[in-house]
Amino acid sequence: MTNSKFLPLTRRHMLAASAASAAVVNAPHAALAQRSRNEAAPPPQMKVKMKVNGKPHEVELDTRTTLLDTLREHLQLTGTKKGCDHGQCGACTVMVNGTRVNSCLSLAVMHEGDEVTTIEGLGTPDDLHPMQEAFVKHDGYQCGYCTPGQICSAVATLEEIRKGIPSHVTGDLTGSIAPTNMEMRERMSGNICRCGAYSNIADAMSEVAEG
């Protein structure tokens, strides 16, 4: 028998009441989220001036654009390759003010006023850079996908050795550094070649190092 002082409350009523109160609580948050999605500001843009392969460029970019995407997508310099896009393969190596960098890990806006050299700036098919000639002579590639990054890295590597910048395998830190096979392999270890052309790359570098 039902107690007349209270309304009969079934399990169905309880569930309906809970759902209704949850909807009321969540409604303002859902509306706010939708409004902020609708009103999302466009990504911030910035103008960047840099010299690439000796030519001045000014590009307006989403500030999150990497140097790699700037070169490939905005300046159409597609010689620089995108491999992992995570700093692990070296395919995107270019030189910035003479120092090699993984361009996939570097935002373009960090390079205001910098001088960038890509594979296109090292040589042309009619006028190869000595390192490009040596790679051809020693078969330092197979598919060629890693090759632009390998060559930029190799050029910068020999410059590092010439300047006396030590690596983990440099034994004598007091004198000049010899461009040994071990030195070059250690310094090039961030440039991965899926085709396994490492020995031939080291031979090509040795030839250029010996002048």
Per CB under 6 A, residues contacting ligand FES are 82-85, 87-92, 102, 104, 141-147, 193-195, 197
Closer Cβ to ligand FES, 90 or 177, answer by number: 90
Closer Cβ to ligand FES, 89 or 122, answer by number: 89
d(CA 77, CA 80): 7
C-alpha 34: how far from chain center: 34
Closer Cβ to ligand FES, 23 or 84, answer by number: 84
d(CA 144, CA 128): 16
d(CA 109, CA 102): 15
Closer Cβ to ligand FES, 105 or 182, answer by number: 105
Q: For 183, list phi and psi in degrees, rounded to 5.
A: -60, -45
**In the bound complex, what is the minimum distance in angstroms from residue 70's beta carbon to ligand FES?**
13
d(CA 48, CA 210): 39
**In the bound complex, what is the minimum distance in angstroms from residue 197's beta carbon to ligand FES?**
5
**In the bound complex, what is the minimum distance in angstroms from residue 201's beta carbon to ligand FES?**
8
Closer Cβ to ligand FES, 92 or 208, answer by number: 92
**In the bound complex, what is the minimum distance in angstroms from residue 100's beta carbon to ligand FES?**
11
**In the bound complex, what is the minimum distance in angstroms from residue 145's beta carbon to ligand FES?**
5
